[in-house]
Amino acid sequence: MAKEIKTIGVLTSGGDAPGMNAAIRAVVRTAIARGVKVKGIKKGYQGLLNEEISDMEARHVSDMIQLGGTVLGTARCMEFMTPEGQQKGADICREYGIDGIVVIGGDGTYRGAQKLSALGINTIAIPGTIDLDIACTDYTIGFDTAVNTAMQAIDKVKDTSASHERCSIIEVMGRDAGYIALWCGIANGAEDILIPEKYDYNEQSIINSIINNRRRGKTHHLIINAEGIGHSTSMAKRIEAATGIETRATILGYMQRGGTPTAKDRYFASIMGAYAVDIMLAGKTNRTVGYRHGEFVDYDIDEALQMKKEIDPYQYEVSSLLSI
Ligand code: ADP
Ligand code: F6P
């Protein structure tokens, strides 16, 4: 029989993402509405091991749905990667009367959740990452804000770059995943989109297309480069040397991860936060919330981590079709 859940914990872990606060708020308020106590755990698994744990009431999450970052803080915790660290985390949960934890983060955070579940702490994960790289879900909290932030910044760079008839390389976040680059590439009308999943490292073909485009009268060439490809500054130098066209690199960096969350991120975070609490109270553990084919759903975390996410070939093809 499922154990009765009287107290839950909530933490954010890994890279922060806009909308995490909306998710925390939803977890806290849903739990309280269902008669369950909530404890906030600061700085992810590190804060759990450091016992940075305090009671959260409904008023503690007032006026924060619009804030970027995470009020609980986040961290990367090496100690929690070890069996001893994980056992210590589970023991601390028991000591504080925490029957289950809602964790908000990316796939690393999910792996931590698996370990806690295996040690008897009911754990539910919520996908919170700007990278959109969790395979079991069509949506991850923070992506919409990040992509809009990047798109607006790229529009601005494009204005000045086009005025000077330059080529611009703009590097967006995504160490292993090219979703921000793909979306910005389409939304900003880029000529080239370089993403870890697809780029063949054929710089000469980019150089050829810049030269051909210039001959055909195009005055500006925009390349969106995902962080995972990197080397934007040296690439700009090589392109300038090969084409004779002034080329500048702009690395957008961490500004993409901050800022006030969009309505979409707040909405998804709110529903996912509530959903996480409700499936936990229904007795589930080692599950992740997801959004698939228009519905909020949940998956076993072991299965979720086995799933592969691939860039849709049609969407990728369209990105190059539209760049002529
Ligand atoms: P994200 O959740 O954004 O993918 P990380 O990969 O940095 O970020 O993971 C966040 C934290 O999750 C790590 O610092 C670590 O504490 C925990 N974690 C990651 N992988 C594991 C693992 N295999 N076992 C236990 N904990 C893990
Ligand atoms: O949050 C996701 C992400 O932005 C990745 O795209 C990036 O590679 C990573 O986080 C970098 O985060 P940090 O520098 O904080 O480790």
Question: pLDDT tens digits, residue range 272-302?
Answer: 999 999 999 999 999 999 999 999 999 999 9
Q: Is the pLDDT of residue 1 over 60?
A: no
8 Å CB contact between 103 and 109: yes
- Residue 79's pLDDT is 96
* pLDDT tens, residue by residue, 26-51: 999 999 999 999 999 999 999 999 99
Nearest CA to ligand 2 atom 5: 174
Please name which of 109, 142, 108, 121 lies closest in space to residue 5, comparing C-alpha atoms.
121
CA of 20 to the centre of ligand 2 (A): 15
pLDDT digits (tens, 9 = 90+) for 50-63: 999 999 999 999 99
Protein residue closest via CA to atom 8 of ligand 1? 14
Q: What's the predicted TM-score (pTM) here?
A: 0.95
Instruction: Show Cβ contacts of residue 294 under 8 Å, excluding neighbours closer than 6 positions.
Output: none
pLDDT of residue 320: 85
Helix ranges (H only) for 230-323 are: 232-243, 263-281, 301-306, 313-321
Q: Which residues form ligand 2's pocket by a CB distance below 6 Å?
A: 15, 129-131, 173-175, 227, 257
What pLDDT score does 201 carry? Answer: 83
DSSP string, 158-224: HHHHHHTT-EEEEEES-SS--HHHHHHHHHTT-SEEE-TTT----HHHHHHHHHHHHHTT---EEEE
Rounded to whole angstroms, the Cα distance separating 231 from 237 reads 10
Q: What is the mean pLDDT of residues 91-111?
A: 97
Report residue 199's pLDDT band, with 50, 70 and 90 as the boundaries: confident
Atom of ligand 1 nearest to the CA of 46: 16
Angle at 15 between CA 53 and CA 137, to 5 degrees: 105
**Is residue 2 very low, low, confident or very high in pLDDT (cuts 50, 70, 90)?**
low
In this structure, are strands 221-226 and 167-172 parallel, antiparallel, or unpaired? parallel
The residue annotated as part of the active site, out of 16, 131, 144, 192, is 131
